[in-house]
Amino acid sequence: MDLTQNRIFGVAALVFSQCELNPLQVSTLSVGTRAQVFPGDKSFSDDRYVITVFYRFSTSSPQRNKMKVLLVGLATLALAHAGSYSILDVENIINTVNNADASWTAGHNFHPGTPLHYFKRLMGVKKVANGPALPQVSYSGIDLPETFDARKQWPKCPTISHVLDQGDCGSCWAVGGASAFADRYCIASNGTFKAPLSAEQLLSCCSACGSGCDGGEPDQAWQYFVSTGLVTGGDYHSGRGCQPYALESCEHHVKGPLPNCSKLPTPDTPSCESKCTNKKYKIPFKKDHKKAKTAYTLSSVKAAQEDILKYGSIEAAFTVYADFLAYKSGVYHHVTGDELGGHAVRVLGWGTENGTPYWLVANSWNKAWGDKGLFKIRRGTDECGFEDDLVAGRI
């Protein structure tokens, strides 16, 4: 039984008490999805979440009235929690995409029955009204290649090829930003600096960025790189750097060796630490910081291409729709499904596939998702708002 069900049963017990009902008068109380409800049950639902009560009345009218109060109370509670138990019809999404004239292929990426609230929690881009807007950088007019892949251009920088895992936390804005910053720092050092930079510090310490696991803004993250900088820090349990990521890696997907993300307790944002949390790391916290010189947004598609070509990965934010969760290969564009929220990712390059221009992008749901953790999305059409908020900085 999960937390939401426990809450409902707890409130049910309270209603029993307030109505002075004997619990023996209710033979069964069950909570679940519509698929679990049998014909003839007394149930209340909004097509997504159902609470069912099997009961028997005594002959007295007062008891009947009290039972009505119980049913109304439980029905209200069920509807209040409806969104947390919505389940995406992934099969329908996959079939719709694969039977459409789409430039991409859909498939299973997540465990069946993963609740909608889990997916929405991963969408961590939130607009915050802190500080001045970043300056814009425009395209200079240089020639741009037809294809570009930062992984191939700078093979001495291992962070570029590394796919991260944000875990069960809306930290995409921090993970995407810190990883792009690390890529650029390595590139600027001509490959001599190879360490990852700490998404953990950014997530927990940048109060101007937003609300940690409840979301943040990439623009503010890049301003933080200029004003404060980041210490080093690798993946969860990696033992790398000053402040490694503290949130547990987990399987967002159908199968894998890690625990199922949606079954783990919802994590809190880690507390901000002004010391190295990795006790084996030898460089002092204050001396470990790496800073950016500038932070800016990119005014156009070509401006973004030029910046990637010269300096490396950038961070992008876009609107995620339900079908994106099922991406497997090809060039993504929205086909079906509702909006889930804003998501931040790291852009590595661009190209053209079967005549469709695309951005090459690293996601932060580990390598089991999508195309080994990567995806392609249409370039030049502002697909899902992808080209509205492209941000980076100079080292």
Q: Which of 172, 206, 242, 384 is catalytic?
A: 172
Q: Is 95 a catalytic residue?
A: no
Report residue 263 CA to chain centroid gap.
16
Contacting residues for 202 by C-beta, under 8 A, at least 6 apart: 174, 177, 178, 209, 221, 224, 230
Distance CA 118, CA 85 (A): 10
Bridge partners (DSSP) of residue 230 are: 290
Q: Which of 109, 260, 363, 366 is catalytic?
A: 363
Q: What are phi and psi of 333, to 5 degrees?
A: -150, 150
Q: Is residue 233 a contact partner of residue 241, using CB atoms and an 8 Å limit?
A: yes
Q: Is 289 a catalytic residue?
A: no
Is 73 buried (19+), middle (13-18) or exposed (0-12) by CB count in 10 A? Answer: middle
Q: Is residue 71 a contact partner of residue 19, using CB atoms and an 8 Å limit?
A: no
Q: Is 363 a catalytic residue?
A: yes
Distance CA 12, CA 31 (A): 11
Q: Which of 253, 278, 343, 366 is catalytic?
A: 343
Q: Is residue 315 a contact partner of residue 172, using CB atoms and an 8 Å limit?
A: no
* Residues labelled as active-site residues: 172, 343, 363
